[in-house]
Amino acid sequence: MTPRDPVELWNDEAATFDEAADHGLRDPAVRAAWRDLLLSVLPGAPARIADLGCGTGTLTLLLAAEGYAVDGVDFSPEMIRLARAKPPVDGVTFTEADADDPPLETGAYDVVLCRHVLWAMADPAATLQRWIALLGPAGRLVLVEGSWSTGAGLTAAGTVELVESAGREAELRLLPEATYWGREIDDERYLVVSRR
Ligand SMILES: C[S@@+](CC[C@H](N)C(=O)[O-])C[C@H]1O[C@@H](n2cnc3c(N)ncnc32)[C@H](O)[C@@H]1O
C-alpha cells in the first residue's frame, strides 16, 4: 500500500485536532499547566519564538498573549487556516511551509519551540541542526516530545542524545502529570530544554 501523503494526513486531522485536551487547551486547568510549564523555561518576554509544526496555533497564540513575538510554521494548509481563524493576537505570524527547513531568519530567534513534531522528521538530527541555526547566540531549544503507546515518537533518551550530538546541553523533564494531557497516561512524554 502506498503511504499517505503526510500533508493530506495532517489536513484530515485538523478539523478535530483541538478536541484533544493538550491540543486545544480548552480546559482552563490544562491551559494553565502548559502556560506555566512553558513560561518556566522560556526567557522573559519580549523575545522571539519560532513555533515549528504549530498545528492550529494553540501554543503560538498562548505565548503571543504573554508578550512574545511568535512565528508559527506548519505545512498543513488546513492547520494554518484554523490557526489564522482563531482570535488574532499581536506579534503572531503563521506561515505554511515545511518545518524541516523553515523559511525563517537565521540567527534571529531567542527560542525554537516544537511540540510533537521532531519525531515526524525523516532525519531528526539534520532537522535539529537547521533549527539550531535559527537561534541567536543565547537562543534555546524547547522540545516537547513523546514515545507514545501507539509506537510512534521519540524516546526521551533518544531526544537527549540528538540534542547532545548537536553539541548542546539538554535538560530533561518528564511530563507524566495528567494535568498536561487531560487524562492519566502511561507512556513517556517529556520536555527537553537546551539553553546552550
Ligand atoms: C501533533 S501536531 C502538533 C501541533 C502543535 N505543535 C501542538 O503541539 O499543538 C503535529 C503538527 O506538525 C505538523 N507537521 C508535521 N510535519 C511537518 C513538517 N515537515 N513541516 C511542517 N509541519 C509539519 C502537522 O501538520 C501538525 O500540525
Summarize pLDDT for 50-94 with one digit per residue, the tens: 999 999 999 999 999 999 999 999 999 999 999 999 999 999 999
pLDDT per residue as tens digits for the range 81-131: 999 999 999 999 999 999 999 999 999 999 999 999 999 999 999 999 999
pTM (predicted TM-score):
0.97
Round to whole Å and give the CA distance between 83 and 86: 6
Q: Which residue do the cell numbers 541567536 mark? A: 136
Which residue's CA is the nearest one to ligand 1's atom 1? Answer: 116
Q: Can you tell me which atom of ligand 1 is nearest the CA of 58?
A: 9
Ligand 1 neighbours by CB, cut-off 6 Å: 6, 10, 23, 53-55, 58-59, 74-76, 79, 98-100, 115-117, 120
Q: Which residues contact 60 (CB under 8 A, 6 or more apart)?
A: 51, 54, 70, 71, 72, 83, 92, 94
The model's confidence at residue 3, banded by pLDDT at 50, 70 and 90, is confident
